[in-house]
């Protein structure tokens, strides 16, 4: 089987898109980078893309989950109760894009490494939307500073879409995933975060999920996932 067909069957997009991966030097067979589109894949070959080993015709699972406040995105018990205590799913499934212990809201759960790569690598700039409630009124100037970018840990944040909801709440859309970014932005402005909830990832919305609840993605949401994987 030709390498582009193999990649397409593994779910990495159209054959043309898979050809781009090969020509871009992103594909290895048995540890060696290959760039020849005529390369044939044998059943015993070890094929990797972005350091993930592939098999053709993989069946992946996709869920969305409402992470409750107080749970950690970890399998170790040191930091408190784990989200995996609430997810009696197959062990190969993991979360995509962590939330800290005191945050809540939408986590996508999958065993598809391609999706993890597309949603977490900063070059793809996938949008994530959060609701934030603070301890005091927020000024228009503070909203403007968050929109324009702020110096956090010595690095400027990217521009963000920020919409004031009421005196103490706002909605913020980020395209980067820096550690505790929203909390650090608020702290720099003298704001204390009382609630931080992720409500949307790459156009997939939390909707009416309750804390601790998970559900398999529906057909419409899977179409959104496929758009992420193909672009």
Residues recognised as catalytic: 100
Is residue 212 within 8 Å of 59, Cβ to Cβ?
no
Strands 204-205 and 214-216: unpaired
Using CA atoms, how far residue 114 sits from 33, 77, 126, 135, 198, in Å, is: 18, 28, 14, 39, 22
Using CA atoms, how far residue 35 sits from 1, 29, 38, 67, in Å, is: 15, 10, 9, 42
Of 205, 64, 68, residue with least CA distance to 130: 205
Strands 47-49 and 52-54: antiparallel
Strands 94-96 and 104-110: antiparallel
Euclidean distance between the first and the last CA atom of the chain, given in angstroms as a whole number: 24
Phi, psi (deg, nearest 5) at residue 17: -65, -40
């Amino acid at each position: 089987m030709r390498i582009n067909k193999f990649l397409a069957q593994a779910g990495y997009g159209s054959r043309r898109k898979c050809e781009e991966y090969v020509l871009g030097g992103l594909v290895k067979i048995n540890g060696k980078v290959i760039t020849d589109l005529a390369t044939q894949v044998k059943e015993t070959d070890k094929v990797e893309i972005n350091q993930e080993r592939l098999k053709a015709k993989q069946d992946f699972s996709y869920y969305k989950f409402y992470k409750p406040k107080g749970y950690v995105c970890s399998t170790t018990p040191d930091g408190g109760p784990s989200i995996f205590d609430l997810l009696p799913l197959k062990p190969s499934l993991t979360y995509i894009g962590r939330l800290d212990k005191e945050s809540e809201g939408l986590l996508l759960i999958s065993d598809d490494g391609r999706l993890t790569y597309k949603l977490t690598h900063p070059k793809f700039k996938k949008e994530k939307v959060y609701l934030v409630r603070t301890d005091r009124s927020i000024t228009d100037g503070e909203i403007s500073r968050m929109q324009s970018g702020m110096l956090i840990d010595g690095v400027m944040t990217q521009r963000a879409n920020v919409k004031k909801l009421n005196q103490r709440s706002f909605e913020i859309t980020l395209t980067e995933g820096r550690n505790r970014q929203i909390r650090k932005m608020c702290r720099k402005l003298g704001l204390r975060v009382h609630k931080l909830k992720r409500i949307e990832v790459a156009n997939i919305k939390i909707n009416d999920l309750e804390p601790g609840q998970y559900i398999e993605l529906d057909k419409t949401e899977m179409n959104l996932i496929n758009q992420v994987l193909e672009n």
